[in-house]
Amino acid sequence: ELNEKTVIVTGGASGIGRACVARLFDEGANVVAVDLDAQQVQAVIDHLGADERLVAVAADIADAERVDDLVATTVNRFGAVHGLVNCAGVRGVGSVIDVDRHVWDRNLDVNLTGAFNTTRAAARATVDAGGSGPIVTSPSTAGVEGVPNRLAYVASKHGLVGLTRGAALDLAPPGIRVNAVAPGMIRTPMTSVMLDDPEEAERIRREHPIGRIGEPAEVAAAIAFCCRTTRASSPARSSLRTGGSTAGTSSTGERPDD
DSSP assigned state of 256: P
Q: How many CB atoms lie within 10 A of CB 49?
A: 9
**Sign of the C-alpha dihedral computed for residues 158, 161, 167 and 170 taken in this order:** negative
Give the residue with the Cβ less far from ligand NAP, 129 or 145.
145
| Smallest separation, CB 114 to ligand NAP (Å) | 5
Tell me the per-residue interface mask from 78 to 97 with ligand NAP, x by CB under 6 A, - otherwise. ---------xxxxx------
Give burial (CB, 10 Å; 0-12/13-18/19+) of 64.
middle
Count other Cβ atoms within 10 Å, centred on residue 254.
14
Q: Which of 185, 220, 222, 226 binds ligand NAP (CB under 6 A)?
A: 185
Residue numbers 58-77 binding ligand NAP by CB under 6 A:
60-62
- Annotated catalytic residue within 74, 151, 153, 240: 153
**Of 136-165, which residues contact ligand NAP (CB under 6 A)?**
138, 140
CB atoms within 10 A of CB 228: 19
DSSP 81-143: --EEEE-------B-TTT--HHHHHHHIIIIIIIHHHHHHHHHHHHHHTT---EEEE---GGG
Residues 112-141 that bind ligand NAP (CB under 6 A): 114, 138, 140
Alpha-carbon gap, residue 1 to 39, rounded angstroms: 30
Q: Which of residues 42-61 bind ligand NAP (CB under 6 A)?
A: 60-61
Q: Shortest Cβ distance from residue 136 to ligand NAP (Å)?
A: 11
Rg of the chain, C-alpha, whole Å: 17
Check binding of 243 to ligand NAP (CB under 6 A). Answer: no
Q: Which stretch binds ligand NAP (CB under 6 A): 7-15, 48-56, 116-124, 204-212?
A: 7-15
- Interacting residue ranges for ligand NAP, rule: CB under 6 A: 10-11, 13-17, 35-37, 60-62, 87-91, 110, 114, 138, 140, 183, 185-186, 188-191
Which positions are catalytic? 153
